[in-house]
């Protein structure tokens, strides 16, 4: 484990630099331990693939003391257990109309549009993190052949439900927001609804697979254009 500075009252713990269910389990383990080690001095935590952002109250503790307490995690970073989460199936309307980056991504990959769709839809993914926006679930791993870097300049508005790829991650934009991922389709399922309980269909550790649908079915399921 490596500790780095994030901001004036936050440190970030790195457990590795790859997408790996075992590292993800270590992060999950560290969440509970950090809550215990910092107690009321903890403001919030952001767990992700291989890191944990720790935000603390600078009026109750300082970074030296936080580092000292979190060292215990490094000495004691027993691997968390990798649990098999629930499998959730989500429908996706893949097309060049709903996925404005699909064609460019296929061209770069040297594949046809249909091959890109097939590769994306036949993989089973794990939910590695939730963040960026309410209900934004980071899913891994995308098949290497269709991995694509983020856009050099992010879009100002990505429509709600957009299914997207960034490197070997894939996700569904739960609401309209700026974003730099490659858009390949649209999912009609609400990924975040504050009035529902639970407010999200997935949680960290779940498995997700995608089922291709056509435009008519997308609209039938409540998808927006």
Partner 1 sequence: MSGFNVRQPGLMTLITDSGRIGHHRIGLTTGGPLDPMAFAWANRLLGNEPNATALEISIGSLVLEAQVDTWLVLTGGELPLKINGKEMERWQAHRVNVGDRIEAGFSQAGARGYLAVSGGFDIPPTFGSTATVQREKLGGLNGQKLQSGDRLPCASAPDAGGFRLPAPYQPNYRNTAPLRVILGYQQDAFSAVQKQLFFTSSYRISDRADRMGYRLEGPAIPPSINGILSEGICLGAIQVPSDGQPIVLLNDRQTIGGYPKIGSLFSQDLARLAQMLPGTEISFTPFTQDEAHNQLLLNQRYYSMIEPIAVTP
Sole window of 48-56, 99-107, 113-121, 210-218 interacting with partner 1 (rule: CB under 8 A):
48-56
Within 163-202, the residues that bind partner 1 by CB under 8 A are 166-167, 169, 174-178, 180, 192, 194, 199-200
With binding defined as CB under 8 A, does residue 33 bind partner 1?
no
Q: Which residue has the tokens 């056509």?
A: 214
Q: How far apart are CA 190 and CA 199, in angstroms?
A: 9
Judged by CB under 8 A, the residue of 81, 110, 144, 152 near partner 1 is: 152
Q: How far apart are CA 44 and CA 41, in angstroms?
A: 9
Q: How far apart are CA 169 and CA 136, in angstroms?
A: 12
Judged by CB under 8 A, the residue of 25, 33, 41, 63 near partner 1 is: 63
Tokens of 161: 């439900």
Q: How far apart are CA 28 and CA 133, in angstroms?
A: 20
Q: How far apart are CA 132 and CA 173, in angstroms?
A: 10
For partner 1, which is the closer residue by CB, 40 or 81? Answer: 40
For partner 1, which is the closer residue by CB, 92 or 191? Answer: 191
Backbone angles phi, psi at 81, to 5 degrees: -80, 140
Tokens of 67: 């580092």
Judged by CB under 8 A, the residue of 91, 135, 185, 188 near partner 1 is: 135
Burial 17-34 (b: 16+ CB within 10 A, else e): eebbbebbbbbbbbbebb
Closest CB 53 distance from partner 1, rounded Å: 3
Judged by CB under 8 A, the residue of 2, 60, 62, 86 near partner 1 is: 62
Within 89-118, the residues that bind partner 1 by CB under 8 A are none
Residue among 94, 158, 83 nearest 127 (CA): 83
Backbone angles phi, psi at 117, to 5 degrees: -60, -45
With binding defined as CB under 8 A, does residue 10 bind partner 1?
yes
Judged by CB under 8 A, the residue of 26, 34, 38, 51 near partner 1 is: 51
Judged by CB under 8 A, the residue of 21, 85, 134, 205 near partner 1 is: 134
Q: Give the count of residues interacting with partner 1 (CB under 8 A).
A: 55
Q: Rule CB under 8 A: which residues touch partner 1?
A: 4-10, 12, 17-19, 43-53, 55, 58-59, 62-63, 129-136, 138, 149-150, 152-154, 156, 166-167, 169, 174-178, 180, 192, 194, 199-200
């Amino acid at each position: 484990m490596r500790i780095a500075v994030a901001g004036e009252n936050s440190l970030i713990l790195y457990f590795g630099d790859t997408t790996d269910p075992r590292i993800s389990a270590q992060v999950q383990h560290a969440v509970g331990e950090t809550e215990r080690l910092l107690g009321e001095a903890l403001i919030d935590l952001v767990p992700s693939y291989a890191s944990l952002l720790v935000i603390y109250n600078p009026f109750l503790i300082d970074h030296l003391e936080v580092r000292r307490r979190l060292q215990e995690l490094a000495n004691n970073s027993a691997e968390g257990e990798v649990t098999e989460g629930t499998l959730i199936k989500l429908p996706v309307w893949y097309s060049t109309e709903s996925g404005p980056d699909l064609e460019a991504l296929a061209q770069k990959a040297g594949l046809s549009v249909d091959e890109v769709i097939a590769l994306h839809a036949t993989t089973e993914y794990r939910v590695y993190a939730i963040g960026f926006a309410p209900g934004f679930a980071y899913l891994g791993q995308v098949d290497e052949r269709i991995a694509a870097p983020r856009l050099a300049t992010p879009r100002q508005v990505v429509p709600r439900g957009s299914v997207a790829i960034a490197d070997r991650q894939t996700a569904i934009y739960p609401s309209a927001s700026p974003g730099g991922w490659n858009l390949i389709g649209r999912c009609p399922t609400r990924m975040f609804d504050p009035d529902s309980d639970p407010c999200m269909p997935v949680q960290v550790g779940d498995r997700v697979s995608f089922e291709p649908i056509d435009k008519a079915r997308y609209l039938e399921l409540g998808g927006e254009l």
